[in-house]
Amino acid sequence: MKVCVDLGATNIKSSLIKDGKILRLTSTPTVTTNGLSGIVESLKASIDAFMQEGVRAVCISSAGKIDVATGKVVFATENLPGYTGFDIRTWVWETYRLPCVAVNDGLAALLGEIALTEEYRTKKTVMLTFGSGVGGAYAVNGVLKADESNDFAHFGHLPILENGEPCNCGKRGCAEQYLSGRGINRQAAELGIGKDRIFAEKAKGNERAQELFDKLKTYLIKTLKEIEKTSPFDICILGGGVVDGMGDTFEEFANCDGFDIRKAKAGNAAGMLGAEYLGRNLL
């Protein structure tokens, strides 16, 4: 059995997984007000919830640029203050004396989808996860491709609007500023639409919500066209909490000429399943 974790800026999901199947699942708020110490305390609480006899590894999916070879956080935005440089694998070993794999949450989510769908193992596949931020991943014939040629598939920080909103990565107009949950709620608030209400209001026929919905679809297309420049793909998978909240509006959102866009099957469990899938190969 493995304890598998998906660490985000808002919540840390954790689970007990055996043979690719989730036995139990929980969620812990991510405390970011105390910098790295708060994040680490939250991570420990999420792991401790499933620490029991028979656990032989910890597999972590995490926001930020993660060096899979070392388990270190190469870069994290201020959504996770102080997290850059954190050595996940060493911390897990020193705390639990268990082996660990760590991978970026976007990459883990795609691995989770690949584990569930054989077709994705024979295609060029890109994945975007819309949550607190925007995660990205790319695989060719089921093998992850994230290197300097595509900025390690950090697609959420591809600029899609010239002189757009400043991003906490230091650039302006990044996809994350428009397609993340936080970005969408900011834009919705400007139109007088309540938090996390955009898709429900669009479904009701709210004209302002429809206006924003159409903009979001345009931003998605812009993002996909930017991705194609470095990572040509056959299929795009969309996942994350924002996508889960789209309900019946997803089909309209995903209907973009020239792109084969599909909804993630693993839902919010994709990151944990992907981390476990990676751990299956490395441990």
- Domain assignment present for residue 112? The answer is no
Q: What is the pLDDT of residues 82-127, one digit of tens each?
A: 999 999 999 999 999 999 999 998 899 899 999 889 999 999 999 9
Tokens 């639990």 correspond to what residue?
96
What one-letter code names the amino acid at 53? Answer: E
Percent of the chain with pLDDT over 90: 86
Measured distance CA(116)–CA(222) in Å, rounded: 28
C-alpha distance from residue 267 to each of 38, 100, 271, 272 (Å):
27, 23, 9, 10
Q: Are residues 160 and 28 in the same domain?
A: no
**Per-residue confidence (pLDDT) for residue 217, from 0 to 100:** 98
Residue at 202: amino acid letter: K
pLDDT (0 to 100) of residue 282 = 63
Candidates 187, 171, 169, 191; CA nearest to 179 is 187
101 in the same domain as 163: no
What CATH number does the domain containing 27 carry? 3.30.420.40
Residue 137 and residue 227 in one domain: yes
Looking from the CA of 87 toward its CB, the CA atoms found within 13 Å total 6
Residue 8 DSSP symbol: -
pLDDT tens per residue, range 5-48: 999 999 999 999 998 899 999 999 999 999 999 999 999 999 99
SS3 state of residue 262: strand
Total number of domains constituting the chain: 2
* Residue 192: per-residue pLDDT: 97
Q: Is residue 276 part of a domain?
A: yes
Asked whether the predicted pLDDT for residue 283 surpasses 90, the reply is no
- DSSP code of 180? S
Asked whether residue 249 falls in the same domain as residue 131, the answer is yes
Q: pLDDT (tens digit, 9 = 90+) per residue, 185-205? A: 999 999 999 999 999 999 999
Residue 46 shares a structural domain with residue 84? yes
Domain-located, residue 220:
yes
Say if residue 275 is in the same domain as residue 156. no
What pLDDT is recorded for position 82? 98
In whole angstroms, give the CA distance from residue 228 to residue 220. Answer: 12
* Domain with 195 in it: 119-264
Mean pLDDT is lowest, of 95-104, 154-163, 221-230, 260-269, for 260-269
- pLDDT per residue as tens digits for the range 174-187: 999 999 999 999 99
In the structure encoding, which two tokens stand for residue 173, read together? Answer: 């107009």
Q: Is residue 179 part of a domain?
A: yes
pLDDT at 97: 97
Say whether both 249 and 129 belong to one domain. yes
